[in-house]
């Protein structure tokens, strides 16, 4: 009985101390008091004080990192000091909340830059001095690691199907369609697999158009397309570039990261001119 009473009053205390916010016609209210104003253009939300002076912006970013993994976060920027923009996690009052409500909720509950006195400039500046670390899950971290490796390879596919890494030819595609374009997506389902060879004509792997799978010479298999719901659907029709990138990750021996070599002066032996 005592335990139930303690839980009851604990919950009651939380409810009593909870701040209720509302956004209506561009005005942010906290516990019934007008504290700020908000406007938006696309996915960028500008927060203003009650005198309509812009203070900071929150921009929602939703981007693909690699394959099905996406990262959704916000970019925070001070209007009065745009020297620095920081990436942060955001919070929402519910899974059904839109961007505007999430921006306001994050400002109040997460960043604590809006309180019952309005926009707290001191708290806002403190965030930029001590930038909070983002809390990425393991899957997202691994995706960023893969993306970093891919970016270092700087892979391109030219108009004849040749694969280049940092401008150096490293391989090529075969069994290309007559209408091939290096930026084209592969939409045709054919029984002839699109194959990849390295610069020395060694077979590296293939893309199976009927199953949307990449298979390396070593037997590794990766499925490019799987039906998923929401914004996290995998790439349905890959480009030739994305196939080359994925094979490079699956087979690290295919493309080596080019390291810059600094060549010093050549020392001549006695008697050499």
pTM above 0.75, yes or no: no
Query: How do the domains of the chain map onto residue ranges?
Result: 20-129, 154-250
In angstroms, rounded to a whole number, what is the distance separating the alpha carbons of residues 220 and 59? 39
φ/ψ of residue 98, rounded to 5? -85, 180
Please report the DSSP string for 133-146 in residue order: PP---HHHHHHHHH
pLDDT greater at residue 189 or residue 38: 38
In angstroms, rounded to a whole number, what is the distance separating the alpha carbons of residues 224 and 214? 7
205, 195 Cβ separation under 8 angstroms: yes
In angstroms, rounded to a whole number, what is the distance separating the alpha carbons of residues 185 and 192? 16
Q: How confident is the model at residue 1 (pLDDT cuts 50, 70, 90)?
A: very low
Choose the weakest-confidence range: 26-35, 186-195, 237-246: 186-195
Q: Is the pLDDT of residue 152 over 80?
A: yes
Q: Is the pLDDT of residue 166 over 80?
A: yes
């Amino acid at each position: 009985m005592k335990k139930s009473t303690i839980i009851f009053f604990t919950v009651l205390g939380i409810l009593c101390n909870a701040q209720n916010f509302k956004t209506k016609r561009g005005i942010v209210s906290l516990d019934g008091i007008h504290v700020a104003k908000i406007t938006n253009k696309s996915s960028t939300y500008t927060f203003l004080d009650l005198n309509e002076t812009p203070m900071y912006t929150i921009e929602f970013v939703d981007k693909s990192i690699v394959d099905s993994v996406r990262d959704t976060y916000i970019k925070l920027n001070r209007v009065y000091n745009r020297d620095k923009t920081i990436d942060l996690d955001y919070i929402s009052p519910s899974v059904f909340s839109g961007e505007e409500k999430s921006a306001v909720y994050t400002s109040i509950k997460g960043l604590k830059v809006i309180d019952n006195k309005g926009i707290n400039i001191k708290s806002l500046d403190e965030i930029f001095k001590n930038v909070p670390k983002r809390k990425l899950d393991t899957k997202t971290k691994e995706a960023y690691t893969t993306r970093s490796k891919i970016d270092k390879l700087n892979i391109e596919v030219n108009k004849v199907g040749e694969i280049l890494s940092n401008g150096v030819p490293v391989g090529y595609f075969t069994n290309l369609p007559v209408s091939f374009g290096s930026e084209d997506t592969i939409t045709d389902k054919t029984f002839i697999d699109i194959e990849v060879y390295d610069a020395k004509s060694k077979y590296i792997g293939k893309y199976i158009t009927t199953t949307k799978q990449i298979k390396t010479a070593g037997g590794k298999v990766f499925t490019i397309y799987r039906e998923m719901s929401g914004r996290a659907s995998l790439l349905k029709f890959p480009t030739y570039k994305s196939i080359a990138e994925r094979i490079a990750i699956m087979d690290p021996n295919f493309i080596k990261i080019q390291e810059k070599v600094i060549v010093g002066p050549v020392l001549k032996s006695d008697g050499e001119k």
